[in-house]
A and B are shown apart, each in its own frame.
Chain A
Amino acid sequence: MKVTRRGTVLVGAALSLSLLASACGSSGGDSGGGGATTASAGDVQAALDAGGTLTVWAWEPTLKQVVADFQTKYPKVKVNLVNAGTGKDQYTALQNAIKAGSGVPDVAQVEYFALPQFALSKSVTDLTAFGADKLEGTFTPGPWNSVHSGSGIYGLPMDSGPMALFYNKEVFDKYGIDVPATWDDYVAAAKKLHEADPKAYIANDTGDAGFATSLIWQAGGKPYQVNGTDVTVNFGDAGTQKFASTWQQLISGKLLAPITSWSDAWYKGLGDGTIATLVIGAWMPANFETGVAAGKGKWRVAPMPQWESGGKATAENGGSSLVIPEAGSSKALAYAFLKFADVDEGVKIRLDGGAFPATTAELNSPEFKDKKFPYFGDQQVNQVLAESAGEVVPGWSYLPYQVYANSIFNDTVGKAYTGAATLAEGLKAWQDASVKYGQEQGFTVK
């Protein structure tokens, strides 16, 4: 559950090129998964009784407590929780280990945007063999769709990031700005705010692939169409156009703070009123509380601004799943851990740790929804966030090489944010580069 920082890591670029190629080369084949891994709930229970050791690669902080409680419940199982890097660093390490055939963990955390890459190359296990398909309805539609690839289910959703508008009420009140209901209102608010205080901005953006794709998602754009190894990349559709024309106004008017998300300057800006709003995933409250102490009591949460007035559409931003690498050694035991962490006791443990669930039961429970957040002036923010989870626009998919595609976002679309090109030109360049890379990797890309 994290938004990867956009800083590209050298290794990633260097390694993923060759590794993906080999991974995809061996991908063509049936989507039924290996028959040998077929297992039943009985096998999972047997594995728990027999015990063993599991290595889990994850960076999500609340998993530490989940692991502790899992080991208490099943004393014969020893879980090694390893932080093998955050986001892209970990994917690179995972690809390396899979390629090298040694040191592959039994369980790994993979963000939704990165999952198709591992699923298509069959480097993670299809969980339908363990009966994961029977969990239909357990999770909200956004994350549940995200773990599907073809007919397979390649991970269990750990958390989700339905988007909402976080805004600094103190700044809004000071300049008499209303909470924007539509993106047009948002642009108007941006102008009003920046005119009133040239040091204040409605938002920060120096180019963030995850954010841009989420907004296109909300606008109904479907730039990525994936069917097995047939891929279409098209940023010319109506949804993408809506995003591009609106966001271009903010860029051209210099209404966005030139601050990169997740940097120290960003945390500072969120605290001192430089950045007045944040449209981001529902997992953000925990970060506000630990990272933006200065903003306590000032921030509130509202529904995401809409592309059409009266609309309710939202999108997912960030969020991650737990997967079982195909090369892992004790898969039945690994599945037992997945189920504990993502479906059973673990959900509550993580919720108490500040995480945002992907499970419908928790999202609908009064205890969750009515919780008051002192940080947000005692607002019941989960009301807004839970509603957002139910309004995610269906039908979105990421590329089977989205990790790479996101890594070149700043080389292409990023130029638009510095004024060297328009957003439309930047998106076209991103499309071309993504098509080219996909073809090099052996996909049929249009």
Chain B
Amino acid sequence: MTATTPAPSRRTSRPLVVRAKPLRNRRSVTLTVLTALMLIYTLLPLAWLVINATKTQAGLLGSFGLWFDGEFALFDNIGRTFTYGDGIFTRWLLNTLLYVVVGAGGATLLATIAGYGLAKFDFPGKKAVFAIVIGAVAVPPTALAVPTFLMFSDVGLTDTPWAIIIPSLITPFGLYLMWTYAADAIPDEILESARVDGAREFQTFFRISLPLLAPGIVTVLLFAVVATWNNYFLPLIMLKDPAWYPLTLGLKQWNAQAATSGGEAIFNLVITGSLITIIPLIVAFLLLQRYWQSGLAAGSVKE
């Protein structure tokens, strides 16, 4: 940090000393304003969503977007969201939960085991594995969706839940994160002493390493949950049958309905559905915030 103030021209032989001020609890108006702006910017869409979820379809189009309409229809909207189209929304919600629990849960488990193995065991070809994992992190999942679709359709798995769950099990970034986290969080000495005491490798992993890895696991889990919960492109390609849709696709279908002739415009249900969709994610973040923060920072500082 260098503070440069244009020195007033003075006739002096003394060299100008620029002193770096220590970082202390100094209030900066600029930063506070910027942070406040950022906060508003982030919360505005959320506020919009909450406000507009309380409006009827007619009220939605006939009132100012950022304030409430006369009629408070939130509970009616929620009720209709869950009953519209023979209650298909509930089905989509359960589908999403299935994909998240099995897909993201499995992805976290696999990433943890693999990351731990790669961090703590030496074997030939480890560098090649490293290169592949790093390379895989760089490939966006979107680019793989079409080849995956063609492969899955060859084995007849498209239009089934497996088409979403199996690709969701792979998380190169999660693996990499667990790898670096395990390398730092578990001292080799502990493993050594466990081995000397006669513990088998699985025992060591479950009894000793797993608790040490907890913050990292939560971080990876959150990443995987968010990615799977918000997954849109893969289901879009893989699924035709709305009975297997996750919420993302289902809401899109409801939205698209307004653009079909004879289709009923149900923007109010799309908005209410969106609100219901994001609530579980918000809850997950708030509950796991503590772990998540410590996990995120871990590995970035070497003690």
Contact = CB atoms under 8 A, between A and B. Distances in A.
B64 to A, nearest CB: 12
A3 B256 contact: no
Interface stretch (A262-270, A335-343, A418-426): A262-270
A103 interface: yes
Contact of B146 (A15, A61, A291): A15
Interface stretch (A250-258, A282-290, A358-366): A282-290
Contacts of B154: 100
B61 interface: yes
A84 B240 CA distance: 5
Given A102-B158, A294-B62, A4 B262 contact: no
B262 A61 contact: yes
B264 A61 contact: yes
A354 B265 CA distance: 15
A262 B91 CA distance: 27
Interface residues of B, number: 33
Given A11-B237, A93-B240, A264-B61, A103 B261 contact: no
B249 to A, nearest CB: 9
Contact of B262 (A5, A10, A96, A354): A354
Given A267-B61, A268-B62, A294-B61, A61 B265 contact: no
B88 to A, nearest CB: 10
A188 interface: no
A268 B267 CA distance: 11
B233 A11 contact: yes
A60 B240 CA distance: 16
A62 interface: yes
Nearest to B62: A294
Please classify the interface of chain B as helix (H, G, I), strand (E, B), loop, or mixed, using the class held by over half of its residues: helix
Contacts of A71: none
B58 A284 contact: no
Given A57-B240, A93-B240, A100-B154, A1 B258 contact: no
A96 B233 CA distance: 15
Given A103-B159, A291-B264, A4 B241 contact: no
B153 interface: yes
Contact of A291 (B62, B145, B253, B265): B265
A353 interface: yes
B140 interface: no
A302 to B, nearest CB: 19
B261 A283 contact: yes
A268 to B, nearest CB: 4
A353 B263 CA distance: 11
A325 interface: no
A93 B261 CA distance: 21
Given A83-B253, A93-B240, A2 B150 contact: no
Report which residue of A101, A264, A294 has the largest number of chain B beta carbons within 10 angstroms of its beta carbon: A264
B6 to A, nearest CB: 45
A238 interface: no
A46 interface: no
Given A264-B267, A286-B262, A291-B258, A103 B240 contact: yes
A36 interface: no
A307 interface: no
B81 to A, nearest CB: 17
Nearest to A84: B240
B262 A86 contact: no
B262 A82 contact: no
Interface string B231-272: 001001100111000000000010011111111110100000
Contact of B58 (A161, A293, A318): A293
B68 interface: no
A61 B261 CA distance: 9
Contacts of A286: 261-262
B298 interface: no
Given A103-B159, A267-B61, A96 B261 contact: no
A93 B149 CA distance: 11
A286 B261 CA distance: 7
Contacts of B150: 100
Interface string A69-97: 00000000000001111110100010011
A86 B263 CA distance: 11
Contacts of A264: 60-61, 258, 267
Nearest to A269: B61
A287 B261 contact: yes
B206 to A, nearest CB: 42
A294 B69 CA distance: 15
Interface in A47-68: 57, 59-62
B28 to A, nearest CB: 40
Contacts of B153: 96-97, 100-103
Given A57-B240, A100-B158, A5 B61 contact: no
A294 B59 CA distance: 10
Given A100-B158, A103-B240, A294-B61, A267 B261 contact: no
Interface in A344-370: 353-355
Contacts of B58: 293-294
Interface in A266-303: 267-268, 271-272, 281, 283-284, 286-287, 290-291, 293-294
A8 to B, nearest CB: 14
Nearest to A57: B240
B62 A60 contact: no
Given A103-B153, A264-B60, A268-B61, A284 B261 contact: yes
Interface of A: 1-5, 10-11, 14-15, 57, 59-62, 82-87, 89, 93, 96-97, 100-103, 159, 161, 262, 264, 267-268, 271-272, 281, 283-284, 286-287, 290-291, 293-294, 318, 353-355
17 contacts: A2-B259, A2-B261, A2-B263, A10-B142, A14-B146, A60-B262, A61-B257, A61-B260, A86-B256, A100-B153, A102-B153, A264-B61, A264-B267, A267-B258, A268-B62, A287-B263, A290-B263
Interface of B: 57-58, 60-62, 142, 145-146, 149-150, 153-154, 156, 158-159, 233, 236-237, 240-242, 253, 256-265, 267
What 10 pairs across the A-B complex have the smallest Cβ distances? A100-B153, A262-B259, A291-B265, A2-B260, A283-B261, A268-B61, A84-B240, A86-B256, A290-B264, A286-B262
Given A11-B146, A264-B267, 20 more contacts: A1-B262, A11-B145, A85-B240, A85-B253, A87-B260, A93-B240, A96-B153, A96-B237, A102-B158, A103-B240, A262-B259, A267-B61, A281-B261, A283-B262, A286-B261, A286-B262, A290-B263, A290-B264, A291-B258, A294-B58
